[in-house]
A and B are shown apart, each in its own frame.
Chain A
Amino acid sequence: MNGTPSTSNPSVNPGQVPGAIHKDPDMVIFGFWVFMMSDLIFFGVVFAIYITMIGATAGGPGPRELFDFGSLFAQTMLLLTSSLTVGIATVTMKHQRSQASFLFWVVVTLILGLGFLTLELYDFSQMAAQGGVPQRSGYLSAFFGLVPLHGLHVSFGCLWMLVLIVQICKVGMLDIIKLRFLRLALFWHFLDLIWIGIFSVVYFGGWVYG
Chain B
Amino acid sequence: MANKSGYAAHLRTYLTGYVLSVVLTIAAFWAVLAVGRENKSVLILVGLLGVAQLAVQLKCFLNVTTQKEGRDNLALVLFSTLILLIIVVGTAWIMGNLAVRMHTTM
- The residue on B at minimum CB distance from A96 is B7
- The residue on A at minimum CB distance from B50 is A200
Q: Quick check: which of A7-15, A128-136, A145-153, A161-169 contacts chain B, the rest being far away?
A: A7-15
**Chain B: how many interface residues by the 8 Å CB criterion?**
53
A112 at interface (Cβ–Cβ under 8 A)?
Answer: no
Q: Give 6 nearest A-B pairs by CB, closest first.
A: A6-B69, A87-B14, A200-B50, A37-B80, A48-B91, A52-B95
Asked whether, in the complex, the Cβ of A41 is within 8 Å of the Cβ of B83, the reply is: yes
- The residue on A at minimum CB distance from B56 is A196
Q: Is the interface of A mostly helix, strand, loop or mixed?
A: helix
B-chain residues with CB within 8 Å of residue A193 when the two chains form the complex:
54, 57-58, 62
A-B contact count (CB 8 A): 141
A34 at interface (Cβ–Cβ under 8 A)?
Answer: yes
A197 at interface (Cβ–Cβ under 8 A)?
Answer: yes
Interface residues of B in 79-106 (CB under 8 A from A): 80, 83-84, 87-88, 91-92, 95-96, 99
Q: Please, how many angstroms separate the alpha-carbon atoms of A91 and B87 in the complex?
A: 36
Asked whether, in the complex, the Cβ of A11 is within 8 Å of the Cβ of B63, the reply is: yes
A21 at interface (Cβ–Cβ under 8 A)?
Answer: no
A-chain residues with CB within 8 Å of residue B87 when the two chains form the complex:
41, 44-45, 48
Q: Please, how many angstroms separate the alpha-carbon atoms of A183 and B10 in the complex?
A: 18
Asked whether, in the complex, the Cβ of B25 is within 8 Å of the Cβ of A80, the reply is: yes
